[in-house]
Chain A
Amino acid sequence: MDLSKYRHPELVSNIVDKLARWKEPVKFMEVCGSHTMAIGQWGLRKLLPDSIKLISGPGCPVCVTPSCVIDALFSLEGVTIATFGDLLHVPGSRGTLADARANGLDVRLVYSSLEALELSKERETIFVGIGFETTIPGIAQTIQIAKKENLSGFSVLPIFKTIPPALDALLSSEEVDIDGLILPGHVSVIIGWKVYSFIPRKYGTSCVVAGFEPLDIMVAIERLINQIETNSPRVDNEYTRVVTPDGNLKAQEFMQQVLQPTDTYWRGLGLIPNSGLKIRDEYARFDAAKKYDITLDFGKNEDNINCRCADVLKGKLTPPQCPLFKTECHPHNPLGPCMVSSEGSCAAYYKYET
Chain B
Amino acid sequence: MCIAIPGKLIKKEEDKGIVDLGGITKEISLAFIPQAVENDWILIHTGFGLEIISETEAQNTIEILQEAYHSDPIQK
Contact = CB atoms under 8 A, between A and B. Distances in A.
Interface string B27-59: 001011110000001010111101101110110
A135 B69 contact: no
A138 B45 CA distance: 9
A349 to B, nearest CB: 18
A151 interface: no
A231 to B, nearest CB: 20
Given A5-B76, A138-B48, A11 B1 contact: no
Interface stretch (A47-55, A186-194, A293-301, A312-320): A186-194
Contacts of B47: 111-115, 138
Contact of A32 (B2, B6, B34, B66): B2
A277 interface: no
Nearest to A184: B2
Contacts of A10: 71-72, 74
Interface residues of A, number: 52
A138 B41 CA distance: 19
Nearest to B70: A14
A34 B3 contact: yes
Contact of A251 (B32, B53, B57, B69): B32
Given A18-B69, A241-B57, A241-B61, A61 B74 contact: no
Interface string A247-266: 01011001000000000000
A8 to B, nearest CB: 5
B62 interface: yes
Contact of A5 (B2, B3, B74): B74
A137 B46 CA distance: 10
Contacts of B21: none
Contact of A1 (B32, B33, B55, B61): B55
B42 to A, nearest CB: 10
Given A33-B1, A242-B51, 18 more contacts: A10-B74, A11-B66, A34-B3, A61-B2, A84-B46, A86-B1, A113-B46, A131-B2, A132-B2, A141-B29, A141-B31, A141-B32, A186-B50, A190-B50, A219-B65, A241-B53, A250-B34, A254-B32
